[in-house]
Homo-oligomer: A and B are copies of this chain.
Amino acid sequence: MNRFANTPEPPYYAVVFTAQRTGSDHGYGAMAERMMELALAQPGCLGAEATRDADGLGITVAYFQDQASIAAWREHAEHLVAQRLGRERWYSHYQLRIARVERAYSGPEGRGRD
């Protein structure tokens, strides 16, 4: 599985979600999988990258065409439920940042796209 997002040339938007999981699952695994699937199916979603270490610190970065797509995803009914459960059960702390991607590089094939 390719876990990198195959994003187009900038500009586009990134939603950076850094979150510390609480200890117990409480349905988290299934919901996280469903949210990733749903996010990727959102109009304007360009892909996502996600990882979490053994201590439960995770970073997910989802890429979107524009701010309107991010706003629509934020208000998606199933996602609102997940957000509530995240606050109540799954995360001891999280930080969410919305950013406009201005430049992108990849490698090690070449620095490219400067």
Query: A residues touching B (Cβ–Cβ < 8 Å)?
Result: 3-5, 7, 10, 14, 16, 18, 20, 49-54, 57-59, 61, 86-88, 91-108
A contact face: mostly helix, strand, loop, or mixed: strand
Is the Cβ of B88 less than 8 Å from the Cβ of A96?
no
- 9 closest A-B pairs by beta carbon, nearest first, are A99-B99, A87-B108, A59-B59, A99-B101, A98-B103, A96-B105, A51-B53, A51-B57, A97-B104
Which residue of chain B has its CB nearest to the CB of A106? B95
Partner of A4, one of B14, B18, B99, B105: B18
**Given contacts A18-B4, A91-B107, are A49 and B54 in contact (CB under 8 A)?**
no
